[in-house]
Chain A
Amino acid sequence: DAKTTQPPSMDCAEGRAANLPCNHSTISGNEYVYWYRQIHSQGPQYIIHGLKNNETNEMASLIITEDRKSSTLILPHATLRDTAVYYCIVSKTSYDKVIFGPGTSLSVIP
């Protein structure tokens, strides 16, 4: 079973920030939080990951709470091309199997 819970769906207006929450209350100290997205039926695309500090890259920002029990993925200026299913994963290493939950289906609306 997935170790994360996410809302099944969200809408976001184009140009606005999309804030996608994830709960991982049973995360262990050496597990990272990863975010992937799947656009239509393409392969999952890596977005960002972090351990305990907030992270930012060219795609998104990841905010992890101090107790590490939840996190938020922020897409600062959502575009129509960001419409996808977003998956929050916890994993110790890149060579552990990824256990996907149902994810959040994000619809960016014009």
Chain B
Amino acid sequence: GEEVAQTPKHLVRGEGQKAKLYCAPIKGHSYVFWYQQVLKNEFKFLISFQNENVFDETGMPKERFSAKCLPNSPCSLEIQATKLEDSAVYFCASSQSAAYSTDTQYFGPGTRLTVL
């Protein structure tokens, strides 16, 4: 597709429950990124993939967070045992291969996670 798709739009979980978010990058894009926006305007980079391989995981919390990008499947971000502080909007972005390195990242509409 021509847009980054994210599902679900909204997700509500009780504290301690698992949350799983999905991202379908633009067809043909090689890189996928996950960002967390906790407060208005404050973005935090979590992790990126080059195809199915982790490219940069410097922002990924060591505990409870995991992510995958498997062939022929949407990428996923999973939070085990959610905490109140995980409440945020999670954005996925994708970009083309390194041959198009001066292009841009394209962002999805986000998934709003609310932990009660």
Q: Answer whether A and B are interacting partners.
A: yes
Q: For this complex, into which size category does the number of interface residues on chain B fall? A: 20 to 34
A46 touches B106 (CB 8 A): yes
Give every chain A residue within 8 A of B43 (Cβ-Cβ). 98, 100
Instruction: Give A42 to B93 CA distance when docked, in angstroms.
Output: 13
In the assembled complex, the CB of B5 is this many whole angstroms from the nearest CB of chain A, namely: 11
Q: Which residues of A contact B101 (CB under 8 A)?
A: 92-95
Q: Known contacts A42-B109, A94-B95, A103-B41; is A32 also within 8 Å of B102 by CB?
A: yes
Given contact pairs A97-B56, A99-B45, A43 touches B108 in the complex (Cβ within 8 A): yes
Chain A interface residue number, banded: 20 to 34
In Å, the complex CA distance between A19 and B48 comes to: 33
| Given A46-B104, A85-B40, 12 extra CB contacts under 8 A | A41-B112, A43-B110, A44-B91, A46-B106, A49-B104, A93-B101, A94-B101, A95-B95, A97-B45, A98-B35, A100-B41, A100-B43
Q: Which A residues form the contact surface with B (CB < 8 A)?
A: 32, 34, 36, 38, 41-46, 49, 51, 85, 92-95, 97-100, 102-103, 105
